[in-house]
Amino acid sequence: MKMTDVLSKAETPVLSLEITPPDRGRSVDELFSAIEGLMDFTPKFISVTYHQPHTVYEEVDGIIRRRPKRKKPGTVGISAAIKNRYGVTTIPHLICGGFDRFETEDALIDLHYLGMKNILALRGDPAPGHTRFVAEKDGHRYASELVTQISAMNRGEYIDELDNAVSTDFCIGVAGYPEKHSEAPNLDKDLFFLKKKVDAGADFIITQMFFSFDSFRRFVEKARETGITVPIIPGIKPVTNRRQIEQIPRLFFATMPQELVQAVEGAKTASEAFNGGTRYMAKLFRQLLNFGVPGIHLFIQEKSDDSRALLSAVYGS
């Protein structure tokens, strides 16, 4: 079912989850166990991330060969497995990095054959080891260009002109950044590019994680002033230990309010830090519900203890 259809029919804000495929060579069982630990809360969607490969060059028989090495394969397979195993609609991520337009079209055809109705279209991060995003030859530089290609296929328009081509039927999601994208000079410029993605055909927005309600509220208000009318779904992540306090701002460029930092770093034990972080995030969760969001998107780990504690604090066990 399409995300927009579920949101329009839901009487209360819907819950969705975001997971990351396991590293190459590791079992998917831990991931399934984490999902099962949250099924009591009836998530309506589960999105599955996709990561650009790290390219290495190896000499084989005197010939230098380019070899892509993907640390976390399995996005499409896991999406299909979750859909079949749990009966939950999945949203595979599709990124610009590592694909040209022709490979993107092939990937979209595969997803269409699998019956996927929703896609989260992203530019993606720079390739591992690089500080700047570089598009593939004949690939997309911006998420708006990827959205344009998906929208064209929804109209039956393929790269090569085809007779009687079947139209795809994807509901397209894109990313929003309440504190602006790390590469944008300011929020106004970032919203300009978000509007381009919506104008290209995006149907809904899921935000990057944030930890301040005021940041999200200002983002939504400015987005509406810009003319963005599609649903905006906040993305949040449980924070329950000091390592997350240190790593999340560095990896995701998200600001952590002092109240959250103090709740975790000021705790005397790991258990107190877990409970303090959970209380703060539960308060943020309730603020978002009271604000009237259409849903909440929860970024989860392979172990879902912190996510379950957060959802239990909001909804009850």
Which of 11, 18, 105, 145 is flagged as catalytic? Answer: 18
186/78 Cα distance (integer angstroms)? 36
Structure tokens at 309: 């504690």
74: three-class secondary structure by DSSP: coil
> How many Cβ atoms are within 10 Å of 228's Cβ, its own excluded?
19
Between strands 14-19 and 63-69, the pairing is: unpaired
Structure tokens at 269: 């034990």
- φ/ψ of 275, rounded to 5, equals -70, -40
Judge contact between 181 and 191, C-beta under 8 A.
Answer: no
Hey, what long-range contacts does 196-200 have (CB within 8 A, 24 or more apart)? Answer: 196/142, 196/144, 197/121, 197/143, 197/144, 197/147, 198/174, 198/228, 198/229, 198/230, 199/144, 200/144, 200/145, 200/147, 200/148, 200/151
Structure tokens at 94: 């599709």
312/77 Cα distance (integer angstroms)? 30
Between strands 54-60 and 63-69, the pairing is: antiparallel
State yes or no: is 11 an active-site residue. no
- Residues identified as active-site: 18
